[in-house]
Structure 1
Amino acid sequence: MTAQRACGVGDVAVSAAMKVELDGIAIAIVKDSSGAIHAIGDTCTHGEISLSEGFVEDEAIECWAHGSQFALRTGKPMNLPAYEPVPVFPVIIDGDDVLVDVQNPLKQN
């Protein structure tokens, strides 16, 4: 795996997101309501909107511009207007570091 450091575990608050760039790819690092950390593509598939500026609720992130929600585990849109998923990347917690493998996105079913 080619995981690299994205941020520290404490850098992201519960039910919040932050944007990082790894290998030229914009990633939203998201901590859901249970404290699990996810890494998804930061750009909404409905428009060129940064998802990390959106709202996190339970295990979803909502685009602030048009209201599409994306499942953090699968990247799949949960409502319109988006109908294409965003990529989801493997996350490894190594001590206080959040590592993300942007070279091997998770397969979407």
Structure 2
Amino acid sequence: MSLSKKALEQSFKDKSVVELEDLVHLIEDHFGYHVQLTRLEQSVELTDTQKKKLTSEIFRDQNVIHQLTQAENDRHNGISTYSDDEDEFARFLNEMNHGK
């Protein structure tokens, strides 16, 4: 997606100063996205729906499946390189295997 410089200039032709709100409206109107701004120092919490969608997308990626399968094989061979949290790793493997 892109917006030409000419279209951008046309959108703000009557403004001497472009406010952040103007940019948000331009993005929403031109690209059809809902934009929500959050200050950097604030942590952003994903909704349960967003988490489920991201998890689904991640487990569709064959590279991720391969890496987790390799990590599972390594784990069975006594080599655990995934993380310090074995319960979390087991949960990931369970989710991956149920998604097949």
Answer whether TM exceeds 0.5 for this pair: no
TM-score computed with the length of structure 2 as normaliser: 0.23
Greater relative contact order (CA < 8 Å, ≥ 6 in sequence): 1
TM-score computed with the length of structure 1 as normaliser: 0.21
- Which has the larger strand fraction? 1
| Bigger Rg, which one | 2
